[in-house]
Structure 1
């Protein structure tokens, strides 16, 4: 074979590889599109089922998951700080960076305005009695980023949903 002879193929190996990958991606997209269209016609969704992501247990018993609440400062306008999970009737768990913010010296004037709301149909609001961050929480690396809020009022677990 001489250097001046024309190659047997019009495309290089790299060009063939790129073409194969492009074809493969389009075939995969086409397959997923077909599956999605079949899903739309086979599965019957209710009006609110696409945004309903909360699991619920038996309505007569305590639910099988902790209720999600919102921690906020009751000022005008209301300032939402973070979410919390109700783990007992008087205790919630939250990220430690949220828990330590409550006791920051520059925010001391708002200490009594912190609240937690739980519930969907009936909203239960309680003040925060104390906040307990993890003893090894590191604000620089966020390691051990977990803490507790103790409520002033009892939140009934069986009525949340």
Structure 2
């Protein structure tokens, strides 16, 4: 479980796992500010200062993950929570698709959210998970500044081709 080893102010804190005969519960830090996605939806888009404020925190958390040899592989506004403070702190969550690079193997599986996924992930070949995370951060910044995804409807197969074309 990759998340358990991460301790950084911009990563939601993993607390414990509870196991009963019928349930498994993972207890995490509470982020009272909700998702960054909902904040964007309520205002449409951020000005440059606000986008920079959140983006710097996001890349600080991602940089820490990468320094710990962990790639997230599903970075998106919906997996970026906010604490409840007046100057909200970003908290990266949902490490379900994360991969540790300690074993020196590159990820091959196509995981992530279509609107945020890097071109090389869509080709179903071996890829660098850290670089795929950086692409997702770029998409996140784009959405913060424009209020729209780079390739319109992310579930439309034509847009997968547009994303893949970026890498050619």
Whichever structure has more helix as a proportion of its residues is 2
Structure of greater relative contact order (alpha carbons < 8 Å, 6+ residues apart):
2
TM over 0.5: no
TM-score, length-normalised on structure 2? 0.23
TM-score, length-normalised on structure 1? 0.24
Computing the radius of gyration from Cα coordinates, the structure with the larger value is 1
